[in-house]
Structure 1
Amino acid sequence: MGAAPGRLDRPARLAPSDVLRLGLLGVRIRRLRAALSALGISIGIATLVLVTGIPASGQQALNDELSALGTNLLRGVPQPGQDPPVVLPDAADRMAARIGPVTASSQVANTHQLVHRSDLTDPHDGLGLTVLAAGDGLLPVVGGRVRAGKFLDASTDRLPTAVLGHDAASRLGVTGLAPGRQAPQIIVGTQWFTVVGILDPLPLAPDLDRSVLVGWEAAKRNLAFDGHPTVVYVKAREDAIEAVSSVLTATLNPQLPGLVQVSRPSDALAAKRATDSAFSSLFLGLASVALLVGGIGVANTMYISVLERRREIGLRRALGANRGQIRGQFLTESVVLSLLGGAAGTVIGVLATAGYALYEGWRPVVPLTVLGAGVGGAVVIGVVAGVYPSVRAARLTPTEALASA
């Protein structure tokens, strides 16, 4: 059967797989050129990852140090000097925990008892120490650590046991707790208490360094404690710390919220937010420069490739390839080169960032957006950088391409 009229003059339509194969053809035949072209974009993408990953790791290390200063810690206390004294509910910490952004809360209460090393010391000399009833979850809220022994827990809450702050242990002459030996005992009020733990210094709550901490229920049983807290500690998400602070007074004392004082967030929070903003601007600037350099490299490579391959373009046009097919071939080749270089550069950048961060003692951090930008940005670069060379190649007529080859 004869071909339909007009069908012989139409160039064969290429499937996407054929266009991809033609684009890969130039990469396979000119391997050294392809490797050098991919190397250019990989250096640009590796630089992108490095100049964002290393500052991000340093920023994370700085943020960790600033967070240790209590940027997300609030402290609620009754307004002093009131008659009668302001009393907080006995479940104040649990009431604060119901606030959405709050991540942890605990409380302490002054038992107004004196503490002595033994019954032979002056009964009126409390060594300037405070005896506090403490909740089981106090230590993680104030960022404390146990130097020796253990902290109060559910198993010791009702027992006459005590944990000493750093300064309190020094003043009471309790230098350590030896495993397997009898634990030292102290007198709180008129009761003997067994020391089960000693704390490291607490920068976020220095008043606890001069305190003797006893279980909440043990204080009620042995020290005539009324169960009302005098300090409530609250940890919340940093992005909502001001919102939590604004509602914490009404939460701790719904009837008289004006008679509760809430400490302001640490000044370190403002410094941390300023640091985040500065680093974000730095990331954007460095990433833009790295991508621009990589894009220029790919565009230059593809433009030179068009000039050197005019004979190939002319032959393909003479054999029936239309302009769209020529554009697709060179554009695909540009994207493939950029994609290979982007993948390689991303891997190199991540490895280099991790190595440098570990050398500095930081926790390696590479934002996921940067990893996506490494490969995705390479594809975009390939498209943008390949548009003009591919259009220029498609505009060449067969006679012009063969005559100038």
Structure 2
Amino acid sequence: MGARRRAARHGSDRRGAGLLRPARLRPADVVRLGGTGLRTRPLRVFLSALGIAIGVAAMIAVVGISGSGQAEVDRRLDALGTNLLRVSPGETLAGGEAELPPESVAMIRRVPPVRQVAATGATGAHVYRNERVSPGRTGSLHVLAAGSDLLPAVGGHLRRGRWLDSTTEKHPAVVLGSTAAQRLDVYTPGTRVWIGGRWFSLIGVLDPVPLAPELDSAALVGRPVARTYLRFDGHPSTVYVRAEDSQVASVRAVLAATASPEKPGEVKVSRPSDALAAREATESALTGLLLGLGGVALLVGGVGVGNTMVISVLERRGEIGLRRALGATRGQIRTQFVTESLLLSLIGGLGGTVLGTLITAGYAVSRDWPTVVPAWASAAGIGSTLVIGAIAGLYPAVRASRLAPTEALAGT
């Protein structure tokens, strides 16, 4: 009895040893199988990968252009210096607009670490192309009284013509900021413009002033002529202060009390970098919106990948049935189609990364900016495409693995 049991068990072991076991696929085999499905349908693969590429390119271009613009701003700030402080009137306790004393500029100049001081004063006048323009159509342009010391203090440069000096500031002469000249369509020195009910002669046009952008939309006249013709009262509206680099913080701390000893609480002191930080925050909000649109485009590309994989499963039922009949497991079928989806998404991600980088470089070169494409943006673009590819390919892969060999072969 025991001998028969041992013989039966020995025969069972021999039969079990003769059963076929599915071969394990190596990583190279998995990649080769996934690539086969892509090579047989090149046009469909191209169109699906293009949807992914557009989304990734949009994301990288938005981040790259924003980063390039910020790098250009930083470069200009480094060239111009960040030791410029701006003093301006704040609000009175009653909520009205305060005024800086006329002697504030002279008092600030006495502070030892201060190297340069210059001021502008609002005149209340506006500049027009000619006397026939309606007074209400100011174009948001204003007229400021200024002196010969203003341009060096703010790091400004002339695009053409000359700046105010001891001779021109006593006569009806005007220098236009870059935006003002563009809106008035006046660039040639010697052209006349209408200010405060009389003609002024244009003597110069400024380049954009990054550290004092309010000057871009202004018409600048000398203080003596502003008092004579434009009723300038002598109160400065903005005082620009250049201090020693190592003493900027200490100078900033005493400027309010120095400019207006009686009412220091009604004085505002800021740095150009503060305004640039606020502008950067606004641009960051816009960048977030554009990144959201790029994400939507990426999601649409993922839907296209999923659609391609579903159609691929339906078209390749015979192939799936044959592989199952030859011993392929459900896990191997799932791995094959998920790999195919990942390869398709990777192609789109790499193409989108290259396209986004080229767009950023082209735009930066056209604006004479440094080209900046953060590494994290490229990594995030490719990583997101792989995640989307895995999700998009999961359902078609599971569906393919559930096809029985007889059912798949019968449908061909």
TM-score, normalisation: structure 1: 0.55
Shift of the 379–4 alpha-carbon distance from structure 1 to 2, 3 Å rule, reads: farther
What is aligned with 1:20? 31
Letter in 2 for 1:263: V
In structure 1, C-alpha distance between the alignment counterparts of 2:279 and 2:49, rounded to whole Å? 34
Identity of aligned residues (%): 43
Given the alignment, which residue of 105, 112, 134 partners 1:90?
Answer: 112
What is aligned with 1:156? none
Shift in Å, 1:341: 2.4
Aligned 8 A contact 1:38 1:338 in 2 = no
- Look up the SS of the partner of 2:309 in the other structure: helix
In structure 1, C-alpha distance between the alignment counterparts of 2:68 and 2:411, rounded to whole Å? 57
Q: Does 1:313 align with 2:320?
A: yes
What is aligned with 1:10? 21
Shift in Å, 1:11: 1.9
Q: Which one is further off, 324-333 or 376-385? A: 376-385
Given the alignment, which residue of 227, 231, 242 partners 1:233?
Answer: 242
What is aligned with 1:338? 345
Please give the per-residue CA displacement for 1:253-297, whole angstroms capped at 9, x wherever unaligned. 9x9898475534679658725631441342133112201110111
Please give the per-residue CA displacement for 1:43-95, whole angstroms capped at 9, x wherever unaligned. 34225424773697499779989x9999x85325998579x967754224xxx
- Look up the SS of the partner of 1:280 in the other structure: helix
- Look up the SS of the partner of 2:241 in the other structure: strand
What is aligned with 1:250? 253
- Look up the SS of the partner of 2:116 in the other structure: strand
Shift of the 77–268 alpha-carbon distance from structure 1 to 2, 3 Å rule, reads: closer
TM-score, normalisation: structure 2: 0.54
Given the alignment, which residue of 286, 289, 301 partners 1:294?
Answer: 301
Given the alignment, which residue of 20, 23, 40 partners 2:48?
Answer: 40
What is aligned with 1:124? none
What is aligned with 2:174? none
Letter in 2 for 1:145: H
What is aligned with 2:164? 166
Aligned 8 A contact 2:318 2:408 in 1 = yes
In structure 2, C-alpha distance between the alignment counterparts of 1:4 and 1:91, rounded to whole Å? 97
Please give the per-residue CA displacement for 1:149-193, whole angstroms capped at 9, x wherever unaligned. xxxxxxxxxxxxxxx9534463589xxxxxxxxxxxxxxxxxxxx
Shift in Å, 1:338: 1.6
Matches within 5 A, 1:63-212: 74-76=85-87, 80=101, 88-92=110-114, 106-108=115-117, 139=152, 142-145=154-157, 165-168=163-166, 170-171=168-169, 201=206, 204=212
Letter in 1 for 2:154: V
Shift in Å, 1:235: 11
Letter in 1 for 2:155: G
In structure 1, C-alpha distance between the alignment counterparts of 2:369 and 2:163, rounded to whole Å? 31
Aligned 8 A contact 1:23 1:332 in 2 = yes
Shift of the 45–11 alpha-carbon distance from structure 1 to 2, 3 Å rule, reads: same
Letter in 1 for 2:269: S
Please give the per-residue CA displacement for 1:101-132, whole angstroms capped at 9, x wherever unaligned. xxxxx53489xxxxxxxxxxxxxxxxx99686
In structure 1, C-alpha distance between the alignment counterparts of 2:320 and 2:347, rounded to whole Å? 24
**Alignment length, in residue pairs?**
297
Shift of the 309–231 alpha-carbon distance from structure 1 to 2, 3 Å rule, reads: closer
What is aligned with 1:398? 405
Return 5+ residue gaps in structure 2 as ranges.
Answer: 1-12, 90-99, 120-144, 172-202, 224-238
In structure 1, C-alpha distance between the alignment counterparts of 2:166 and 2:70, rounded to whole Å? 32
Letter in 1 for 2:242: Y
Q: Does 1:385 align with 2:388?
A: no
In structure 2, C-alpha distance between the alignment counterparts of 1:5 and 1:209, rounded to whole Å? 102
In structure 1, C-alpha distance between the alignment counterparts of 2:16 and 2:25, rounded to whole Å? 21
